[in-house]
Amino acid sequence: MGSNRIRKLATFEAWILVAHTPTHDFVPLEHYYPAYESPPSIHEKKTKGRVWAEVITIRRRYEIVYASPTHITALVPKLPDFRCSWHDDPAMAEQKIFCEKYEGYTRLCTCEDPITSAYRFHSVSTIFAKA
Q: Is 50 exceeded by the pLDDT of residue 91?
A: yes
Query: Is residue 1 domain-shared with residue 64, that is, in the same domain?
Result: yes
Query: Is residue 21 domain-shared with residue 67, that is, in the same domain?
Result: yes
Task: Give percent above pLDDT 70 in the chain.
Answer: 56
Query: Is residue 11 domain-shared with residue 48, that is, in the same domain?
Result: yes
Query: Is residue 118 domain-shared with residue 65, that is, in the same domain?
Result: no
* Residue span of the structural domain in which 122 resides: 81-131
- Within 13 Å, how many C-alpha atoms sit on residue 59's CB side? 13
Q: Where are the alpha helices (DSSP H) in the chain?
A: 93-101, 106-109, 117-120
How much of the chain is helix, strand and coil, in % rounded to 5?
25, 10, 65
Q: Is 80 exceeded by the pLDDT of residue 111?
A: yes
Query: Is residue 27 domain-shared with residue 41, that is, in the same domain?
Result: yes
Give the residue with greater pLDDT, 73 vs 104: 73
* pLDDT tens-place string over residues 20-32: 766 555 555 555 5
Looking at residue 43, the DSSP 8-state letter turns out to be -
Query: Is residue 69 domain-shared with residue 14, that is, in the same domain?
Result: yes
Query: Is residue 94 domain-shared with residue 55, that is, in the same domain?
Result: no
* Number of domains within the chain: 2
* pLDDT tens-place string over residues 1-45: 567 777 777 777 778 888 776 655 555 555 555 554 555 544 444
- Among 37, 60, 79, residue at a domain's last position: 79
Query: Is residue 67 domain-shared with residue 7, that is, in the same domain?
Result: yes
Look up the pTM and report it.
Answer: 0.39
Query: Is residue 60 domain-shared with residue 89, that is, in the same domain?
Result: no
Q: Name the average pLDDT for the chain.
A: 70
Write down the pLDDT at residue 43: 43
